[in-house]
Every structure is written in structure tokens, then in C-alpha cells.
Chains A and B, each alone.
Chain A
Amino acid sequence: MMRSFLMAVALAAASTAQAQGTIKFAILGPMAFVQGENHWAGAEMARDEINKAGGIAVGGKKMQVELIRADTNEVQSVPDATNATERVISRDKADFLIGGFRSEAVLAMQEIAMDSKKIFLGAGAADARLGENVEKNYDRYKYWFRVTPTKSPDLFRSLVAILGSIGDQMRQALKKEQPAVAIVAEKTAWTEPIMKALQATLPKMKMEVVGTWQPSAVATDVTAELSAIERAGADIVFTVISGPVGISLGRQMGERNMKAVAFGINVEAQKDEFWAATAGKGNFVSTLDTYSEVEITPKTVPFVRAFKERYKKAPTYTAATYDAIMMLKAAIEQAGTTDADKLVPVLEKMEHVGTAAVASWDKRHDLIWAVGKTAGIGVQWQDGKKVPFWPPEVKGMQPFKMPAR
């Protein structure tokens, strides 16, 4: 037993031979899944760009970026994710941690990073508690920042803004005073506050709630739910979904030729693979999204184009690891050090123009919400293409479409 350990130690030490003059960024993500792929791809783009330009300037010395790829396997096992975090800190001697996706795992990973006072930039988990920790116990958790996504209450603000514009379009098209909305929210803790707020807000927006359905996040069959929704006569199916049930919903709505249009959060519909996964049945499905070829910031369009060229598909929100590294680069160059305690105040005061958003931080180290900066965009699947339609004032937007009646 001992021997296998010692061998593990020896081999691991040999495999991570210390390279001089580099700054090590550990990219933590479920590497077999789309989220992890994007974590890694975004980070690679940042690394190559920085290293090509000579590196990061730290107190007059140029340092190269070194990435450590850590498969957290967090979708399958939470302890695996914590082990990977400990490994990159104590074995690989990573300077900064970036990534994470499944909230249950990231909450545990956050603890380990804070134990060893490492800056950890979250790029995937939406749970508000990650930020609440910073507010409650600043001295311990100040090393945590969330680059993406915005926290749940802010997601809700974006959703309501987009829903308002869809609702107006519906009223005109259907000549109906009160469009009927069916809420489909996966049964998880993060959807809870959004759903409650929605039920209170929709009547004020002159929309009728015909019912709330809560399938499991991993349900593969929602036909029973959909036939009930059809019977209720819904015009809009409002989705609050992060799991694969989003694909089943899109596909099965298309199969039944439903007249209602789906909008909300549908994480699967943000991915390029969505069209194929629904076998082309996911037409008109729309969702809140992060990346598209529109000018959220001046950096968005070039980044998305370069990403598409390199990886043959569009980035999803976890590719904001790119922004995370760029942000750290800016902070390191400004502070002239990689010391975590000195970087935290610099990061806190920074306004960073990234590719996904213009980032600035609140006291929970979450993004401050603003339309056109961090609110995200609305996209809709139209005949195999993911088309951006909101916010209308941004350049490159196209109209929102509805199924023919």
C-alpha cells in the first residue's frame, strides 16, 4: 500500500517538473463534458494569446502562462472534485484556480482553496451561497470571485426584461390581452427563488400563469408534462432548466408541433450541439445566453470568431475562463505581484472589459448586473442556427420568431 503511494508521489513529481518563470493556472472542470471542454478551450485561447505576446509582466519580469488541466469528474463524484483541487494546490503548486461547474462540488472545492488561501475564480456554478460566504466571512472567503454566471436574482432580472419584449410581440401577434404562461422549472434549489419571483411578477406583467410543472433535472421524458401544458392552453413555456431535460423538452415540443414557444433558461439550448441533440426538432426554443457574434463588448466578436475557427464550434458560458485569466493578468500586472492577498483588493476595484461581460464586483464578489454589460443576451434556435435577439440596442440582433399558427 505504502509503496504504491510512494510510487505515485515519485511519478507525479517527475511528471510536473518545475518550469521556471511561469505562472500556473489550474483549470478545474469536468473534462469529459461540454462544460469542462469549454473551461479548457477558453483557457487555452488565453494562454496562447498571452504567451505569444511575451507573457505576463510581474515587476519588470515577463512570466509565461502555464495551464494545469485537472479533471474534477464532478458530475460523477464530489470527492473526486475535492481531491483534484487538493492535488493542483499541494502537488502541482498551482498559483490560481479557475473553473468549477456543479454547485455541490464547487462549494466543497471552495473550502479547500480558501484553506490554502488561493485565488479561485468560479466559472460555471450559479449558487448564490458561494458569494454569500464572501460577505459573511470576508477574511476567509475573499479569495473567491465569480466570473460567470451572474447570480440567480440577476438571472431573474434578465429573464423578466426579455420576457417583457416577447410578451409584447405575442400580444400583437395573437391579439390576446394576457398571454398564457406555463412554467417548467427543474426541481432544484437554484430554480426555487426564480420560480417564486416569477409567479409573483407575471400577473403584474399582464400574463396569466396556467400552471407550474417541475420535472427532475435529468428526466428524459416530459410527454406527460407537455400534454398537460397543451391542455392548459399555454402560449409561452417558460423554462428554468440546466439539465438534459431541456433537450427532451425542446425535442418533444417540436415532435408534438406545439404552438407555444419556449423561453427562459435552458442551458442545453446554449450549446451548439442542441440542434443535433434534438434531431432538428428544437426550432423556436429560446434561452438566456452568454456568447454570440454580437457586440456585447468590443472583444466578444473577435473572441467568438477565433474560438469557432479553432474548435469548430461556438463557446458556451464556461469558456469565460478566458476572461478569468485575462482579468488575473491585468490584476497581476497592476499589482506587480502574484501574491493572493495583494491581488484581492486590486481585483475588487477593477472594471474588466472581457469577452462575455464588462465585469465589476459587488461585496459578494459577484458580477454587478447591468443590461449590455453583464445581463447576457437572448438567443433563439431558428432553422438550425442560434440567433441572438436581445437586447435590441446591441449591434447584430435579429427578430424573435414564433411558430406558425
Chain B
Amino acid sequence: MLQDILVTGLVNGGVYALLAIGFSLIFGVARIVNIAHTAFYMLAAYCFYSLLVKAGLGFAVSGIVSVAAVTLFSVLCYRLVIEPVREHESAVLIATIALALVFQELMLFSFGGHYLGIPSTLDGVVNLAGVSVPYQRLLILVVAALMLVATWALLYRTRLGLAIRATANDIEVASLMGMNVDRVAMATVAISVALAAIAGVVVAPVLVVDPFMWLSPLVTMLAIVVLGGLGSLKGSLIGALVIGYVEAITVFALPSGAFLKGAVALSIMVLVLLVRPEGLYGVVFEEER
């Protein structure tokens, strides 16, 4: 049973980490609480489905095209909808909610409320310490790890990363130092949504694709990000693992309470916040102190 918990928690934590890190990044840099984050994840899943199942393109082509298309689309959405109201925090908030609703309804209209399935990229199972784990889940874990490393490298080893970190630290000083803050924010949006889209493409084959698939990961993701501390990448990673394990332990310890796993995870988040209001690794922002 212990090995079951260890493996299941790790795999689920990996998926959550992919989503949470993108969300955290965009909040840290641009202070945008992007409710539509998981809606982009859903769009990527639908896009992948259309290309792979309907158009019959290969896994690689469909995957790359979906991620690229959704990322470009997100930049467009940012320019058209978010940027004009950036000054008004509350307007940004409902703009992202409205965007998510638009995506949901568009998908509902064009695909119906049907549950769609995407074939696995890799078939088969492997036996890890007595637990059978499908290859697809291992793929998710590997992709999640790769993306985390890539994001880290981007932030700490490139000039763009430096600019992003500087903007996250102090937007005014960054602007005074000659950085194009708007451009940086846009780049961050692109990176963040690309992470969500990659998550959509690799995770969709183990889930069902439907127009409401953005809601439940949204809540889990928000719990993770708040638990780990808004804007902290390390926090998001650790938060994702914590929630992944909490859910796995709930199911194993309390089989007839498996439906409570979401509620238990959220309660853990509330508990952490009671002790540390800024989350585990949260940054206390100047204006919010």
C-alpha cells in the first residue's frame, strides 16, 4: 500500500505541478490572477483531439501544433482583452473569468457536451515496485520534470529570464532600468500558457475531454499555488506534490471517502494559510504588506 501511495502521489503531483507553475509565474510577474489558465489547458486538449483524432495527424505534429496555436492565441487574447484593462485589477479578474466561460461555451457549442477520448501516446504498463503504472503516466512525469527544468533554465540562465525576474521583483524599477515591461508581461503570458498547453496535450490522453474539464483542475491548481505561496515556483512544485500525496493518501486510507479527496486537499490549504498567511514560500509584496 505504501508503494501505491508513493507512486500514485508522485505521478498526480507531476501533472499539478505543470499547471501550477505557469499560473504562479504569470501572477508573480504580471499580478494577473488568470482564472482562464486551465481553460487554455482545455483548449489545448480539444485542439490536440481535433488534430489527432479528427484530422489524423501524428502525435508529434498534433502536439506541437496545438501547443503553438494555443500559445499564439493566448497572446492575442492578452492583447485584445487583458491589456486594455490592466489598470483595473477587478476588471482583469472578471475578464479572465469571462474568457474561460467563452472558451467553455465555444467548445460546448462546437463539440457538444460529449466526453471525448484521446488515444494514449504510449500504450502499455510498467511494473514499478509492485504497482502497475501505464507508460502514458510516466510520460507525463517525464514531461513535467523536463518542463520544470526548462522553466528554471529560462528564468535563471537567459536574459529574458532575468528581465522576468526583475519585473516580478519590482515593476517600476525594472521599467526605469529600460526594460519593456509590457513586452516582458506578454512573454510571461506566452510561457505560462505554453506550460498549460503542454499539460493539456500530455495529460488529456489519460482523462476525458469535455467542456467543463477546466473547473476541477482550476480549483486544485489554485489550492496548490496558494498553499505554496503565490508567485513562488518552488512553492508551487512543493504544493503540487503535497496535494498529490494528500489526495492519494485520502483514497487509500478511506476508500469509501474517495470523493472527499478534493475537499481534504482544500482543507489542508486552509490549514496552511491559517499558520502562514502568505503560503509556504510566498513573497510578501510591497503593496500588499
Contacts and interface: CB of A to CB of B under 8 A. Distances in A.
A–B interface present (Cβ within 8 A): yes
Interface of A: 30, 32-34, 37, 75, 186-187, 211-221, 223-225, 227-228, 230-231, 244, 247-248, 251-252, 255-257, 268, 273, 276-281
A169 B248 CA distance: 34
Contacts of B108: 32
A228 B208 contact: no
B179 interface: no
A256 B132 contact: yes
B110 to A, nearest CB: 11
B253 to A, nearest CB: 10
Contacts of A280: 117, 119
Q: Is the interface of B mostly helix, strand, loop or mixed?
A: helix
A248 B120 contact: no
Contacts of A215: 251, 258-259
Contacts, number: 119
A247 B132 contact: no
B1 interface: yes
A251 B118 CA distance: 11
B208 A225 contact: no
Interface string B188-229: 000000000000000001111010010010000000000000
Nearest to B250: A224
B56 interface: no
Interface of B: 1, 4, 7-8, 11-12, 53, 108-109, 112-120, 125, 131-132, 134, 136-137, 205-208, 210, 213, 216, 247-248, 251-252, 255-259, 261-262
A279 B256 contact: no
Nearest to A251: B117
Contacts of A277: 114-117, 208
A33 B262 contact: no
B25 to A, nearest CB: 25
Nearest to A226: B132
Contacts of B7: 227
Contact of B134 (A186, A187, A217, A255): A255
A30 B114 CA distance: 12
Chain A CB within 10 A, most for which of B115, B137, B205: B115
25 contacts: A33-B112, A34-B112, A186-B259, A212-B256, A213-B258, A215-B259, A216-B259, A220-B207, A223-B12, A224-B258, A228-B255, A230-B132, A244-B208, A247-B208, A255-B120, A255-B136, A255-B206, A256-B134, A257-B125, A273-B115, A273-B116, A277-B116, A278-B117, A279-B205, A280-B117
B113 A219 contact: no
Contact of A231 (B4, B119, B134): B4
A276 B117 contact: yes
B113 A227 contact: no
Contacts of A33: 112-114
B119 A212 contact: no
A146 B34 CA distance: 45
Contacts of B120: 255, 279, 281
B33 to A, nearest CB: 23
A221 B255 contact: no
Given A33-B112, A221-B12, A248 B207 contact: yes
B4 to A, nearest CB: 5
B208 A227 contact: no
